[in-house]
């Protein structure tokens, strides 16, 4: 059941008229990845899911991304905080939302400016609203 079916106030996930928000979701835990990506898709987002930072960077280089939603603890040599810094080098206005079961351990100076931290466990409907709001704020901040 999606958030709209529950009667929650969900923002329409679109940055451009008629186009969904493109979410790059980086999560290495399969069940979380499947559950959240399906829920976000049901909310109207266009979701691409990868399991590590290297795949995320390749995706960022090849396809349009409106918002990065990443776990902090990722397999490989790069964690979610380092991924976000590299992503911002590629797209300076890219909204970033971090997720972690140890969210309180992510120090402010390790985060990219303007980012949001969501503690795990979280509700995908809440995440959908945060992603839409972060994307809308970033879009409003870019001069026409």
Domain presence at residue 77: yes
| 3 domain-assigned | no
| Residue 13 lies inside a defined structural domain of this protein | no
Beta strands in 51-142 (DSSP E): 67-71, 96-100, 116-119
Q: 14-46: per-residue pLDDT in tens? A: 455 568 999 999 999 999 999 999 999 999 999
pTM value?
0.85
CATH of the domain at 81: 3.40.50.2300
Residue 16 lies in a domain: no
> Does 38 map to a domain?
yes
- Expressed as residue numbers, the domain containing 134 is 22-141
Of 103, 99, 123, whose CA–CA distance to 2 is shortest? 123
Question: Does the residue 9 lie in any domain?
Answer: no
* Residue 31 belongs to a domain: yes
pLDDT tens-digit series, residues 124-138: 999 999 999 999 998
Q: Contact, 97 vs 118, CB < 8 A?
A: yes
Q: Does residue 124 sit in helix, strand or coil?
A: helix
Distance CA 133, CA 20 (A): 13
Q: How crowded is residue 126: how many other Cβ atoms within 10 Å of its Cβ?
A: 13
Average pLDDT, the chain: 87
- Work out how many domains the chain is built from and give that number: 1
As beta bridge partners, residue 50 has 26
The answer to whether residue 12 sits within a structural domain is no
């Amino acid at each position: 059941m999606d958030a709209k079916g529950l009667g929650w106030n969900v923002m329409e996930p679109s940055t451009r008229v008629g186009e969904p928000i493109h979410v790059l979701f980086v999560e290495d835990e399969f069940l979380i990845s499947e559950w959240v990506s399906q829920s976000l898709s049901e909310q109207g987002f266009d979701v691409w899911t990868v399991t590590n930072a290297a795949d995320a960077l390749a995706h960022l280089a090849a396809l349009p991304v409106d918002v990065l939603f990443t776990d902090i603890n990722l397999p490989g040599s790069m964690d979610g905080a380092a991924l976000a810094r590299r992503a911002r080098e590629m797209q300076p206005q890219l909204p970033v939302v971090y997720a972690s079961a140890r969210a309180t351990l992510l120090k402010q100076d390790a985060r990219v400016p303007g980012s949001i931290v969501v503690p795990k466990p979280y509700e995908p409907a809440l995440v959908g609203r945060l992603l839409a709001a972060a994307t809308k704020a970033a879009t409003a901040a870019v001069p026409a």
